[in-house]
Amino acid sequence: MHTLKRDLVIIGGGPAGLAAAVAARESGCDNVLLIERDRRLGGILNQCIHDGFGLHQFGEALTGPEYAQRFIDRLNSLSIETMLGTIVLSMDRDRILHVSSRKGFSRIEAGAVILSMGCRERTAGAISIPGTRPAGIYTAGAAQNFINLQNIMVGKKVVILGSGDIGMIMARRMTLEGSKVEAVFEILPYASGLPRNIQQCLNDYGIPLYLSTSVINIHGKERLTGVTVAQIGQERKPVPGTERHVECDTLLLSVGLIPENELSRGPDIQLEVKTNGANVDDTFMTSIPGIFSCGNVLHVHDLVDHVSDEATKVGQFAAAYLKGDIEIPESYINIKPGKGVGYVLPQRISGDRDFVLSLRVSEPCRDKAVLVRDGDKKVKRKKMVRLHPAEMIRIPVRVDKLGDARSLEVCVE
């Protein structure tokens, strides 16, 4: 079997992998290989033809493909090696990968690996909606692929379950293409997507959003004929008497994204229950030395600009690791989410460098502060007007503020 050796192998050529590859190359790593399973780079950005990408990175509103192209151009100008249409089938602790493409099956020995495989959509099975399983039920992202990349219309009378960003964007998209979007139903008492999408994708088009409401039954033996919806009360159970039938031929699901960490199970990388992503330190190194993780495979982001930021740093760290500039500490300072915080990342830091905490609050609130503390000692406090689980919060922390902390807690107060 064909064997290759590369200093740095990046798995996944979406926004995270692209930014990581560029940054690693610019940080002096000459032997970078970017592997992408699709036949083109850019990942899911390719099907995101709406605008709003790049406001932070480039100060302008780009479409998904335009945003990706900015990085692809840089990648090309740096002559970074890519393998397209290539899937990594396995990876072990020693960073030996088996990959497959139409050109052949090969083995790659990598000095370091950056995981940037992105995420997948939660399915109807995962949320166990009762009822039949007719045609006409799609995840929002699959529908987006059919409509935007394949010129295929998935349906005419649409119900959307879940107020994730892709679901709301598809509500607008399908309305623009002549479908009737009956409503968006969200099981939680608040929307799970960004406020700007509620305004621009739903309110502007008169599409109602019903909170604390969910689809509780699916009807139709061949094509979907309708769904039963109901208000959701205690213990996520339907409130009796609130059931109503909504006629539709299409149900789009936007009920959450799951980091696609199946490959990470090969080397037994430690995964976190709260993020479904790897446990990482302040260099984004996973529990396995030389394997890094960034982007949506690490934790689901709401803005691609943040993915690029994070991946750029990871590319730099991986390059530094290969040069021997990163020492793996004997012990870490652990960071735990406290009251009001859903998750915080990195989960552990070396105390050797400044870092940025990424976190999400567990429920919406106003006029509170995010507090980083070492026991009773305040390390950092950031006041915020609006805190919402849909919006990732990023807090830079200077290492000289840590003192002799052995562990940190991040909470809302």
Binding site for other proteins (CB under 8 A): 1-2, 37, 85, 87, 89, 98, 100-107, 120-128, 130-136, 139, 141-142, 145-147, 149-156, 177, 216-218, 221-223, 249, 258, 262, 265, 273, 276
Contact indicator for 193, 168 with CB cutoff of 8 Å: yes
Residue 364 CB, nearest approach to other proteins (Å): 22
The set of residues, in sequence order, having a beta carbon less than 8 Å from that of 40 and lying 6+ positions away, is 46, 84
Q: Which of 30, 177 has the CB closer to other proteins?
A: 177
Task: Tell me whether residue 146 or residue 210 sits nearer to other proteins (CB atom).
Answer: 146
As measured in angstroms, the least distance from the Cβ of 187 to other proteins is 13
Strands of 209-210's sheet in order across: 137-139, 250-253, 157-161, 180-185, 209-210
Q: How far is the CB of 395 from other proteins (least distance, A)?
A: 28
Of 126 and 239, nearer to other proteins (C-beta) is 126
Ramachandran bin of 406, using left for φ above 0, alpha for ψ from -120 to 50, beta for the remaining angles: alpha
Which one, of 77, 29, 11, 8, lies nearest residue 260 by Cα?
11
d(CA 293, CA 285): 7
Under a CB-based contact definition with an 8 Å cutoff, are residues 297 and 119 in contact?
yes
| CB of 411 closer than 8 Å to CB of 360 | no
> E-assigned strands of 1-58?
2-11, 32-35, 51-53
Smallest gap from residue 221 Cβ to other proteins (A): 7
Alpha-helical runs (H) found in 6-61: 15-26
CB of 147 to other proteins, least distance (A): 6
Using CA atoms, how far residue 368 sits from 364, 376, 386, in Å, is 10, 18, 8
Is 273 or 385 the residue whose CB approaches other proteins more closely?
Answer: 273
Give the nearest distance from C-beta 21 to other proteins in angstroms: 21
Give whichever of 259 and 337 is closer to other proteins, judged by the CB atom: 259
Distance of alpha carbon 370 from its chain centroid, rounded? 22
- Of 263 and 322, CB closest to other proteins: 263
Nearer to other proteins, 105 or 190 (CB): 105
- In whole angstroms, the minimum distance from the beta carbon of 154 to other proteins comes to 6
